[in-house]
Structure 1
Amino acid sequence: MHPPKIQTYDVGSGVNVDNKGFRREVTEYRRAPFGLYMSRAIVGRESASWIESWLLPELGIIVSDWTWNPGHERHQDFYLDIARVEPGEQVWRTTDLYLDVIVKTGEWTEVLDVDEFVEAVATGLVDPPTAEWALHRLTEVTAALAVHGHDLDAWLATRGITLTWREDGAARAC
Structure 2
Amino acid sequence: MSTQREIAERLDLPVHPPKVEVFDLQARTNTDPKGHVRPVSHYHREPFGLYLARPLDGHPRLAALESWILPSLGLRATRWYWHPGFERDLDFYLDVVDVEQDERRWRTVDHYLDLEVRDKRAAELHDVDEFLLAVRAELLDPATAERAMRSACAALSGLEATGFDLAKWLRANDIELRWHGRPAERPVPEPRSLPPTV
* 2:52 partner letter: M
CA–CA distance in 1 between the matches of 2:72 and 2:172? Answer: 14
Structure 2: any 5+ residue segments left out of the alignment?
Answer: 1-14, 185-198
Aligned residues: 170
State whether residues 54 and 183 of structure 2, in contact with CA within 8 Å, keep that contact through their aligned partners in structure 1: no
Structure 1 partner of 2:149? 135
**2:113 is equivalent to residue 90 of structure 1:** no
Aligned to 2:22: 8
Higher strand share: 1
CA distance in 2, matches of 1:89, 1:138: 27
Alpha-carbon deviations, 1:80-101, whole Å to 9, x = none?
0000011211000000000000
TM-score of the pair, normalised by structure 1: 0.95
Structure 2 distance, partners of 1:58, 1:106, is 23
Instruction: Check conservation: 1:6, 1:19, Cα contact below 8 A.
Output: yes
Letter in 1 for 2:120: G
1:123-151 deviation line (CA, Å, top 9, x unaligned): 11111110001011011000000000001
Over 4 Å off, 4+ runs: 167-170
Identity of aligned residues (%): 44
Aligned mates of 2:179, 2:120 — CA distance in 1: 19
SS of residue in 1 equivalent to 2:72: coil
Coordinate RMSD, CA, aligned: 1.3
How far the C-alpha of 1:106 sits from its partner, in A, is 1.1
- Aligned residue for 1:145, secondary structure, equals helix
| Residue of structure 2 in register with 1:56 after alignment | 70
Q: Post-superposition shift, 1:167?
A: 5.0
Q: Secondary structure at the match of 1:58?
A: helix
Q: TM-score, normalised by structure 2?
A: 0.83
In the alignment, the residues of structure 1 paired with residue 123 and residue 177 of structure 2 have an alpha-carbon distance, to the nearest angstrom, of: 18
Which residue pairs with 1:163 in the alignment?
177
Cα pair distance change 1:15/1:104, threshold 3 Å: same
Give the unaligned 5+ runs of structure 1: none
Query: Which one has a bigger Cα radius of gyration?
Result: 2
Q: Would you say the 8 A contact 1:42–1:50 is kept in 2?
A: yes
Q: Which aligned pairs between 1:100-111 and structure 2 lie closer than 5 A?
A: 100-111=114-125
